[in-house]
Each structure stands twice: as C-alpha cells, then as structure tokens.
C-alpha cells in the first residue's frame, strides 16, 4: 500500500493546488462584486434609474379665447381619435383592412400609417384618424375584438365655434413644422399645436402655457408600469378680446359672398369690436390638417381667403380720404366753411383734365356740399391749394400711412405719398397733378380698412389719437396687465374744424342729396354719419370717357370699382366707427353704405358696454347662443 500512500500524497498536494486555484477564482468573483456593487455602484444606480424612469411632458390645455362678453371664440374640445399599437396588433395590414370597413381609409393614408408604424417603436401608439364622430367611435368600440391593438383615445383639440367668421382675427393652430421645434420641449410632443396666424400666433406663448411633467416607471420595453410623480403644467392664459362675437358674426354674414372687409371699433378706447375679412377659411380644418386639394383651392382663390384684408389689404381710400384733405385745407387756412368752388364736371391742370364723378358737375359747392355730394372738383381745387405735404401730414396724424401696432400679425402700413417718398421710391419729383389725384384718395394713396376706421374714430372723437387693439388686457409672455385708459394724446386738431367735418358727414347720410342718404339709419337714437367712397381700380381711357363710361356691371369683376364706406354712430355722441370695403363691389353709396348702416345699427343695439360673463363652450353650443357656421347660409341681398 506504499504506492497508494504515495498516490494519496500526490492527490492531496494536487487537491490543495486545485483548491488554491479555486480560491483565487472565487476571490476574483468577490473582487468583481465589490467593484460593481461598491466602487461603481453610484454609476449603476443612476443607469438603473435612467432605465426605469421616463419623463413625459404633459401638454397644458391651451388658453381659451373669449369675446368681450365672455362668449367662447376658441376653446378646447374633446377629440376622439383612433390609435393603433403595433405590438398588440400582429398583422397591421390585416387590421387596417378590417378597420377600413368601418371608417374608410384612403390609400395614401394607409401608406402614411404603415410608414409611421415602421418608424416608431412597436409600443408607441400611431394615430390613425382624429376627430372621430360619435357614430364612428361606437362602431369601432363594438368591433374591438376584431381589431387587436386598435384603441380609442381622447385628446384635446382646438375648436373655433364661429369657424370661418373669425378665421382671420383668431387665426388657427396647426402642427409644429420642422423649423419651429427649437426651444420649448413642448413643441416636440406629438400632436402639439401652435398658433400659426392671427391672435393664436401673436399670443401663442401666453396661450400655450407651460408644460407639466409626469415621471413614469417603465419596463425594458418602455411600457409604463406606474406613475411616480406628476406636476401639472400651467394652463394657457385665457384671453379676452375686445371683439363682440355677435357683431363679428353679423358683419361676416352681411358681407356674405362678397370679397371685402369690415372693421368696427370703439372711437374712445380703440378696442376693435368686429374685424371681418371675406372670404374666410375654416380654421378647424387647419387644425385637422388640410388635404392638398383644399390647400390649393385656398391658394388659387382670386378673393385671397387667407389674407386678412382688414389689416393686410391695401386700397385706395377714394372719397373717404376727403375729410383728411378738408381738414388739411382748413388748418392751412386756404379755405373756410364758406369758401366756394365751381364744379363744371371737370378741371384742368396744364394739359391734363381731371373729371368729377358727376359728369354734368355740381355747380357751386362749399365744404359741406363738397363732402355731402363728394364733389371731386371741389377737392381737386382745395388739394391744389393745400399741397401734398400738408395733406400727407394730416393723413399721418389721423393714423394713415403707417402701421398702427394692432396686436395681430400681418398688419400693413398703407401709403401716404409725398415728394420725398416719390423721389425715393420712384426716382421722380412730385407732380402737381398727383396732388389733385391724392385729393380724392386716388393715385398713390393706399390705406387699410383698419386705418380708415381709426381715421374716422380720430375725426369723430375730437382728435384723440386712439390706437386699435384686440385684447382687453395687455398680454405678454410674463402675464396679463390691465390695459390702462388710453392717455388722450391730442393730435392738435381745431375743434371747430372737426365739427365742420362731422357736420358734413352727418349731411352725407341724413340729408337728402347726401351720397348715403339712401342708407341712413331711420331710428333716431341710432343715427349715423359717414362718408362713401368709390375707388377706381382701372384707368378710364379718354375714348371711353368721350363715349360712355362703362357701368360696373358691364365690367369683368376684377376691373370693377371698390365700394367703400366709413361711418360713425351715434351721430350726436359718437361711440363706434366703421370702415367697410367691398372689393370690386361697385359704388360706395349703393353697396358699402348699406352694409355700414346695418352693422352700425347692430353694434348700437348690442351695446358694447353691457356686462357679460364667461360662458363654457358646451353651454354656448347647447343653448345655441352661437349658431355653428354652416348651419344657415346667410342670403346676400
């Protein structure tokens, strides 16, 4: 057994070596455990939390926009959408095919959905269709057993109860485009909408609110297990506008199918009560996303439905400019109220002839008659005497020729020409004849409807430089401050002169022979004053003038005159001013003045000073305070 003993000794020695080796290896394990769990522990704890915890931004509800009485004009509505979670679906195409039997899915739509499905991780819901109606929701819910992974999801979407009638003022919201995703992380949320035009755009930051966040625990597949922490965001600021939604709606309907604009404002505060531009567009459609056909239709429409003509349309003011010229002439002292000019139907300057709109002429005309009958020759004469510089200065004091700083994007400044302007822009000196043209609001002079409303307001409020605004309060990114009473910045007009002009504007409407006498307001409490205008958009040739000037109805739409009207009411204690323009509508007295009358009468009946309180959207829709657009098509008279 000696051998076995040797063998045993060798075995013992070798076993000891093996045990040593194993001890070394086990120590390596212990060392590694110490390294991972003690030395590097913090790093891995962070990584584990990063694994486990996801931050999700919560979109705050967008601030609602209400009118001066609290009627909702833009609000958030529950939006039912159908979403698909690819990982729960299995065969996406088959599911889409089945869903297609319930709600029709177009080919392009399907392609888009399949691309989304491939792009996103399989547990991320893909939106198949938004703004489902109740019927579709019900039909999908009933069929869920056949539609694995398809769910109905409720979100909020912007809803404009007045739709097309407020489209230009309020603007619209739409998905964030690629260039805009900088800064706010909210913008990267899928489905987030931002203001793209109008009030929605200019007050976007205030309306947007600030994001909340939700801290959720997710598993390895990103599925939410539970919510750990949640901080609600700051909802968007509620905006109260100076607009009167009812007046806005009425004015919009009154313009009907015409292409035009109406601006009504408070002559003392500058608050805009109505701002209509027709044709409009459906802002709710923008929110959903327009099809390319719909977009092309909007773009190619001659009547430019996307442009807010009230602030972005440039029009020759025509005869509505005559008050400016008269005030300048009175101030310069080249005329008095009694100064008379003989109108033979035309006047000559050098070898050019300037015609009055009335072929036979007005005979002897003074200031009141010149305005009331809108005699062109009278204004050629007093413009010649006053000179373009004085006229331009007066126009600017009354709010023309420069942007007024309305809180709305896209405001244009108009154009009040002068010698200096002409040399700079055209490179030629001012011609005397051009002064005459400017005297009747033609030639280079361009204004926006808003400017005309402001001009009228400044004339009838005693020469106070009101500036227009749309919100009752001043809204900035940091919050809201009450709009202070406008400090009465006097533009230095002589009250007697203003009284003469107001008197003349009264005559225009309320005295037989005035150009707007046919459009006067009968009710004695609501009587208005005003001035009509007809702006020529084409040149009348000498030959045509000698034969017969074509009537508007004989011309193609694009060549017809613009019809204008500016007015105020009540005539004795003015509170509202109005500017109406109907593009290619014909004569101001026949077309624009009646519209102005109806809107001003409505404005007075509605009384902007009456109290109001906020109405929730649901109630507003239920009680039919707001007829939904499209409910009844107003007939155009």
Residue 36 to residues 29, 39, 52, Cα–Cα distance (Å)? 10, 6, 19
List the one residue from 36, 138, 228, 402 that touches another protein (CB under 8 A). 36
List the one residue from 12, 177, 296, 523 that touches another protein (CB under 8 A). 12
By CB under 8 A, the count of residues binding another protein is 44
Least distance to another protein, CB of residue 9, Å? 10
Displacement of CA 361 from its chain's centroid (Å): 44
- Which CB atom, from 19 or from 352, has the smaller least distance to another protein? 19
- Which CB atom, from 17 or from 364, has the smaller least distance to another protein? 17
**Residue reference for tokens 């390294």:** 35
Cα–Cα distance for residue pair 90/96, rounded to 1 Å: 11
Beta strands per DSSP E along 173-269 = 173-175, 193-195, 212-218, 224-231, 239-240, 260-266
Residue 33 to residues 47, 264, 289, 302, Cα–Cα distance (Å)? 17, 79, 57, 77
Cα–Cα distance for residue pair 113/40, rounded to 1 Å: 44
| Residue among 369, 387, 390, 386 nearest 378 (CA) | 369
Which is the catalytic residue, given 245, 310, 319, 629?
319
Q: What is the DSSP string of 129-192?
A: E-S--HHHHHHHHHTGGGSTTEEEEEEEEEE-TTGGGGHHHH--EEEPPGGG-SS-GGGGSTT-
Cα–Cα distance for residue pair 554/533, rounded to 1 Å: 20
Cα–Cα distance for residue pair 172/285, rounded to 1 Å: 9
- Which CB atom, from 14 or from 106, has the smaller least distance to another protein? 14
32 lines the binding site for another protein (CB under 8 A): yes
The overall longest dimension of the chain from CA atoms, in Å, is 155
29 lines the binding site for another protein (CB under 8 A): yes
26 lines the binding site for another protein (CB under 8 A): yes
- Which CB atom, from 37 or from 353, has the smaller least distance to another protein? 37
- Which CB atom, from 32 or from 551, has the smaller least distance to another protein? 32
- Report the half-sphere exposure of 254 (CA within 13 A, side-chain side): 28
24 lines the binding site for another protein (CB under 8 A): no
Q: What is the DSSP string of 29-59?
A: HHHHHHIIIIISHHHHHHHHHHHHEEEEEEP
Cα–Cα distance for residue pair 477/204, rounded to 1 Å: 9
Least distance to another protein, CB of residue 117, Å? 19
N- to C-terminal Cα distance for the chain?
A: 131
| Residue among 71, 103, 416 nearest 245 (CA) | 71
β-pairing, 260-266 with 72-84?
Answer: unpaired
47 lines the binding site for another protein (CB under 8 A): yes
Told to judge if 319 belongs to the known catalytic residues of this protein, a careful annotator would answer yes
18 lines the binding site for another protein (CB under 8 A): yes
**What contacts 551, CB < 8 A, 6 or more positions away?**
none
Least distance to another protein, CB of residue 148, Å? 21
43 lines the binding site for another protein (CB under 8 A): yes
Least distance to another protein, CB of residue 84, Å? 23
52 lines the binding site for another protein (CB under 8 A): yes
The interface mask with another protein, positions 207-246, x = CB under 8 A, is: ----------xxxxx---x---------------------
- Which CB atom, from 154 or from 220, has the smaller least distance to another protein? 220
The interface mask with another protein, positions 519-548, x = CB under 8 A, is: ------------------------------
**Residue reference for tokens 């939904």:** 628
- Which CB atom, from 219 or from 234, has the smaller least distance to another protein? 219
Q: Which stretch binds another protein (CB under 8 A): 13-21, 173-181, 561-569, 614-622?
A: 13-21
List the one residue from 37, 296, 353, 634 that touches another protein (CB under 8 A). 37
List the one residue from 33, 364, 402, 628 that touches another protein (CB under 8 A). 33
| Residue among 312, 364, 316, 370 nearest 342 (CA) | 364
40 lines the binding site for another protein (CB under 8 A): yes
The interface mask with another protein, positions 187-206, x = CB under 8 A, is: --------------------
- Which CB atom, from 219 or from 476, has the smaller least distance to another protein? 219
Which residues, in sequence order, are bridge partners of residue 227? 216
- Which CB atom, from 5 or from 553, has the smaller least distance to another protein? 5
5 lines the binding site for another protein (CB under 8 A): yes
93 lines the binding site for another protein (CB under 8 A): no
Q: Are 591 and 518 contacting, i.e. CB atoms less than 8 angstroms apart? A: no
Q: Which stretch binds another protein (CB under 8 A): 6-14, 62-70, 140-148, 236-244?
A: 6-14
Least distance to another protein, CB of residue 122, Å? 14
Q: Are 619 and 70 contacting, i.e. CB atoms less than 8 angstroms apart? A: no
Contacts to another protein by CB under 8 A: 1-8, 10-12, 14-15, 17-19, 22, 25-26, 28-30, 32-34, 36-38, 40-41, 43-45, 47-49, 51-52, 217-221, 225
Q: Give the active site residues.
A: 319
């Amino acid at each position: 057994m000696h051998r076995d003993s040797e063998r045993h000794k060798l075995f013992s020695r070798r076993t000891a070596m093996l045990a040593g080796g194993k001890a070394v290896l086990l120590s390596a394990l212990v060392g590694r455990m110490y390294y991972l769990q003690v030395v590097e522990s913090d790093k891995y704890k962070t990584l584990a939390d990063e694994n486990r915890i996801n931050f999700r931004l919560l979109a705050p509800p967008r601030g609602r926009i209400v009118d001066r009485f609290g009627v909702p004009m833009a609000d958030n509505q529950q939006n039912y959408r159908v979403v698909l979670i690819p990982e729960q679906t299995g065969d996406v195409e088959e599911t889409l095919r089945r869903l297609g039997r319930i709600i029709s899915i177009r080919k392009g739509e399907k392609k888009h959905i399949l691309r989304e499905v491939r792009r996103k991780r399989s547990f991320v819901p893909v939106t198949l269709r938004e703004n489902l109606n109740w019927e579709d929701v019900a039909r999908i819910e009933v069929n869920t057993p056949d539609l694995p992974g398809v769910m109905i999801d409720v979100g909020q979407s912007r809803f404009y109860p007045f739709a097309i009638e407020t489209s230009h003022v309020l603007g619209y919201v739409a998905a964030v485009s690629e260039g805009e995703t900088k800064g706010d992380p909210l913008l990267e949320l899928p489905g987030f909408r931002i203001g793209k035009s109008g009030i929605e755009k200019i007050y976007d930051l205030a309306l947007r609110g600030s994001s909340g966040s939700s801290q959720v625990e997710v598993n390895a597949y990103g599925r939410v297990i539970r919510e750990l922490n949640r901080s609600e965001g700051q909802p968007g600021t509620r905006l109260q506008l100076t607009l009167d939604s009812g007046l806005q709606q009425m004015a919009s309907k009154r313009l009907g199918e015409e292409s035009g604009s109406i601006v009504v404002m408070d002559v003392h505060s500058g608050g805009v009560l109505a701002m209509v531009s027709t044709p409009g567009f459906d802002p709710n459609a923008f929110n959903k996303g327009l099809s390319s056909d719909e977009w092309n239709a909007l773009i190619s429409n001659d009547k430019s439905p996307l442009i807010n003509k009230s602030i972005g349309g440039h029009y020759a003011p025509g005869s509505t400019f005559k008050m400016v010229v008269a005030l300048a002439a009175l101030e310069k002292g080249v005329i008095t109220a009694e100064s008379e000019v003989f109108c033979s139907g035309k006047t000559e300057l050098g070898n050019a002839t300037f015609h009055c709109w009335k072929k036979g002429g007005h005979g002897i005309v003074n200031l009141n008659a010149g305005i009331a009958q809108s005699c062109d020759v009278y204004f050629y004469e007093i413009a010649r005497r006053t000179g373009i510089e004085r006229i331009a200065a007066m126009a600017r004091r009354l709010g023309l020729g420069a942007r007024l700083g309305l809180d709305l994007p896209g405001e244009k400044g108009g154009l009040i020409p002068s010698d200096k302007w002409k040399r700079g822009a055209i490179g030629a000196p001012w011609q005397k004849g051009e002064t005459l043209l400017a005297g009747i609001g033609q030639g280079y002079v361009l204004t926006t409807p808003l400017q005309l409303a402001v001009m009228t307001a400044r004339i009838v409020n005693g020469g106070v430089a009101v500036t227009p605004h749309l919100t009752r309060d001043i809204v900035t990114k940091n919050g809201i401050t009450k709009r202070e009473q406008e400090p009465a910045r006097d533009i230095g007009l002589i009250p007697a002169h203003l009284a003469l002009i107001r008197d003349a504007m009264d005559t225009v409407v309320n005295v037989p022979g005035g150009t707007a006498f046919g459009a006067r307001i009968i009710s004695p409490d609501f009587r208005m004053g005003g001035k009509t205008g007809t702006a020529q958009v084409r040149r009348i040739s000498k030959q045509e003038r000698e034969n017969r000037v074509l009537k508007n109805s004989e011309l193609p739409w694009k060549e017809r005159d613009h019809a204008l009207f500016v007015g105020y009411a009540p005539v004795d204690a003015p509170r509202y001013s109005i500017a109406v323009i109907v593009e290619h509508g014909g004569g101001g007295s026949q077309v624009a003045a009646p519209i102005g009358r109806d809107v001003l009468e409505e404005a007075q009946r509605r009384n902007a000073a009456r109290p109001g309180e906020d109405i929730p959207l649901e109630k507003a829709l239920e009680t039919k305070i707001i007829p939904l657009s499209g409910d009844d098509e107003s007939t155009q008279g």
